[in-house]
Chains A and B, each alone.
Chain A
């Protein structure tokens, strides 16, 4: 059985190494640093999200209530990173959220997430129903 080895340049290996390191750092930051679920500077809120790794696909769900469906964007930043953004139908102020010691308002959801296994980003399918986004990413099958 012949095993084909694809030749990779030193730069490719170097890039992959730093990508891996960045992903690990992201995971580390997510698990240890507690921050707010909003960003006042960008007027964004972080939505609740979940990911399930199934044998043939990865299914991501994101709760995006009050979202304008036409504004919804799901981007693959690289082979493992998804960025999700959406505009809300109306602004929500801190006051409405029951917070009086901050001033400001939000009109967008923004999130990014790392997929833990290799997927085919180009074959991504999305579904949006009742403010719930569902993303299906077929997994890359090992040969």
Chain B
């Protein structure tokens, strides 16, 4: 953790939790899934990120200022949620600070909740969930959890850095990606990623309400999606569509 980005704890953080991440990205899958987890698991804000790297934004809730990147939790899970998209130039220091903090809390596993764009999403009858792991053991955990491995391709954004950093530090980690719209909020994809989360970690929530409120969420999420589109374009997110060329 650096002086530029530090985590301020509001209460005692238990060790041995599962630490999840929901950041604005394609289809806002991570943020929508995270909001639903907070509601269903009745999670409280337990910490927040204090960083001079962030744009000068605070989020007002009931008249009080909050960091746009907060950690919610209970005795068994921690959930990092960002209410603003991260620009490419600050992703590394912010993610490193969060992961190093999580490691210091001896988290059992880190899981990024996100999406993978599907070209003909509106015609898709079902949405697949893929996952990538930080180690061979994690790939086995993913398979055992009934989720398909994303074996080749590009990953761009906070979830990519999380996986790489955890792999370097030896922290078990998974990035879960549900097929989704690239630039429209996708609550159906968020529901699918939560099913994948349940399979791999056992963190289960009812997704019926999420699907029921899907259209309402799409109305509310328009502005965050618009901002996220701008950042995704800056960080070359479209590369996830690319056909990889591996140099062996």
Contacts and interface: CB of A to CB of B under 8 A. Distances in A.
Nearest to B122: A132
B108 interface: no
Contact of A66 (B183, B215, B226): B215
Contact of B223 (A37, A61, A132): A37
Interface string A34-57: 000100000001111010000000
Contacts of B216: 65-66
B222 A131 contact: no
Most buried by A among B122, B218, B219, B222: B219
Contact of A48 (B122, B215, B222): B222
Contacts of B222: 37, 45-48, 63
Contact of B183 (A48, A65, A88, A130): A48
A45 B226 contact: no
Interface string B194-219: 00000000000000000000111011
Given A37-B226, A65-B215, A129-B122, A48 B184 contact: yes
Contacts of B223: 37
Name the interface size band of chain B. 10 to 19
A131 B183 contact: no
A98 B220 contact: yes
Name the interface size band of chain A. 10 to 19
Contacts of A130: 122
Nearest to B183: A50
Contacts of B184: 48, 50, 61, 63, 132
A65 B218 contact: yes
Contacts of A61: 122, 184
Given A48-B225, A129-B122, A130-B122, A92 B183 contact: no
Most buried by B among A37, A129, A131: A131
B219 A66 contact: yes
B219 A65 contact: yes
Counting from the closest, the 8 A-B pairs by CB-CB distance are A65-B215, A65-B218, A63-B184, A66-B215, A132-B122, A65-B219, A48-B222, A37-B223
22 contacts: A45-B222, A47-B222, A48-B183, A48-B185, A48-B226, A50-B184, A61-B184, A63-B185, A63-B218, A63-B222, A65-B218, A65-B219, A66-B215, A66-B216, A66-B218, A66-B219, A97-B219, A97-B220, A129-B122, A131-B215, A132-B122, A132-B184
Given A46-B222, A66-B219, A129-B122, 15 more contacts: A37-B223, A45-B219, A48-B183, A48-B185, A48-B225, A48-B226, A50-B183, A63-B184, A63-B218, A65-B216, A92-B219, A97-B220, A98-B220, A131-B218, A132-B184
